[in-house]
Amino acid sequence: MRADRLVAALLVLQARGRVTAAQLAEELEVSVATARRDLEALSAAGVPVYAQPGRGGGWSLVGGARTDLTGLTEGEARAAVWSLSAAVTGASVSPALRSALRKLVRALPEPMRDQARAATDSVVVDAARWGQSGDDGPESLEVLRRAVVSRRVVRLTYGRGERPRTVHPWGLVEKGDVWYLVAGTEAGRRTFRVDRVRAVDITDERAERPEALDLSRTWEEIVAEVERRRSGVEATVLVDPGFVWVLRRQFGRHCTVVDEAGGRVRVAAHTSRSVAEQLAGWGSALEVVEPEPVRVELARIGGELVARYG
């Protein structure tokens, strides 16, 4: 979690006074590019972090190694603590991160401390959707976290496959309420849904991780590739203009409004059957204009329902 890493970076700065991006990267076990972006993010968020170029330079907090972050204005402190508070309210957050936030609050100047404490008690993030329980995530998530941090190869059994595979974990990504493992394999980069990992064991072998890996950019590439595959078939539909927003919400980036006043919309999915299945619940509330394969699939679904329920 990036918020966890940002707090850790801040505490390293407070403890050491000055560090280079390379030193911080080694401390946090991330790439130098990631460490540099984290330092820049702290600075952009209002934390008084500055870079000193040249030999013997590095990144420092205003005031050196002191824990009194006097460079923060009241508004900046409130915004920073509020944002971090939102990141630590989930059930799956480690006690260490909660403890780190408390230390950050104590590090603020006295006039700001009361409001910062209030901010930590004023934000609740419930990641569970309606009808779902807010559990701690897949059982294998914590094991994979340890493997990523310790840079160790793992053997995992995935999906329906019975044969364990050996992978080099690069990082974990949470998208929506689903966790993914990005890893290197014999076949190249692969992405695994953590909730489909049936078993995982950490080995003693050191994992190989590309030196210049930027996990955020890598994930953007993965998302773009998946979204392209998911939008192979496009359908034009007519719906009451008052329900255009519902289609937008249902199909997300795979919905394009052609004529909002006329209720003309294009939606997409990876197959004609998938498009039809997502539209079937609308019944006669909308009409698929084209393509014909989607109309055929809708007719098939309707026939099956009639045959079953009369």
193 strand-pairing partners: 180
Q: Of 187, 215, 243, which marks where a domain is finished?
A: 215
Residue 224 lies in a domain: no
Per-residue model confidence (pLDDT) at position 251? 92
Strands in 178-185's sheet, in edge-to-edge order, are 188-193, 178-185, 165-175, 152-158, 197-206
Residue 225 lies in a domain: no
Residue 221 lies in a domain: no
Least confident among 9-18, 198-207, 221-230, 253-262:
9-18
Residue 136 lies in a domain: no
Per-residue model confidence (pLDDT) at position 249? 92
pLDDT at 28 over 50: yes
Q: Of 163, 190, 215, which marks where a domain is finished?
A: 215
Q: pLDDT class for 67, splitting at 50, 70, 90?
A: very low
User: Beta-strand (E) ranges in 96-228?
Assistant: 152-158, 165-175, 178-185, 188-193, 197-206
pLDDT over 70 percentage in the chain: 73
Altogether, the residues listed in the chain come to a count of: 310
Q: What is the end-to-end Cα distance of the chain in Å, rounded?
A: 51
Q: What is the mean pLDDT of residues 244-256?
A: 92
The parent domain of residue 164 ranges over 141-215
Domain count, the chain: 3
pLDDT at 269 over 70: yes
Cβ-based neighbour number of residue 159 at 10 Å: 10
Per-residue model confidence (pLDDT) at position 152? 92
**Element at 255 (helix H, strand E):** strand 255-259
Q: What is the mean pLDDT of residues 62-79?
A: 55
Separation in Å, CA 70 to CA 18, 76, 78: 17, 11, 13
Q: What is the mean pLDDT of residues 71-75?
A: 58
Per-residue model confidence (pLDDT) at position 292? 96
Residue 238 lies in a domain: yes
- Output 136 or 14, whichever has higher pLDDT: 14
CATH of the domain at 168: 2.30.30
Per-residue model confidence (pLDDT) at position 5? 74
- Output 14 or 74, whichever has higher pLDDT: 14
- Is the pTM higher than 0.75? The answer reads no
200 strand-pairing partners: 156
Same-domain pairing of 101 and 198: no
Same-domain pairing of 66 and 151: no
Is 165 within 8 Å of 156 (Cβ atoms)?
Answer: yes
Residue 279 lies in a domain: yes
Q: What is the mean pLDDT of residues 91-108?
A: 62
**215: amino acid identity, one letter:** L
95: closest CA among 4, 14, 10, 202? 4
pLDDT at 194 over 50: yes
Per-residue model confidence (pLDDT) at position 307? 94
Same-domain pairing of 198 and 102: no
Residue 194 lies in a domain: yes
Separation in Å, CA 99 to CA 103, 139, 280: 6, 23, 49
Same-domain pairing of 240 and 210: no
Same-domain pairing of 163 and 210: yes
CATH of the domain at 281: 3.30.70
pLDDT, one tens digit per residue, over 271-298 is: 999 999 999 999 999 999 999 999 999 9
Per-residue model confidence (pLDDT) at position 70? 47
CATH of the domain at 9: 1.10.10
Residue 128 lies in a domain: no
Rounded CA separation 215/306 (Å): 49
107: closest CA among 41, 141, 150, 62? 62
Same-domain pairing of 38 and 116: yes
User: How does DSSP classify residue 30?
Assistant: S
Per-residue model confidence (pLDDT) at position 247? 94
Q: Which residue has the tokens 């971090």?
A: 84
Tell me the pLDDT of the chain averaged across its residues. Answer: 80
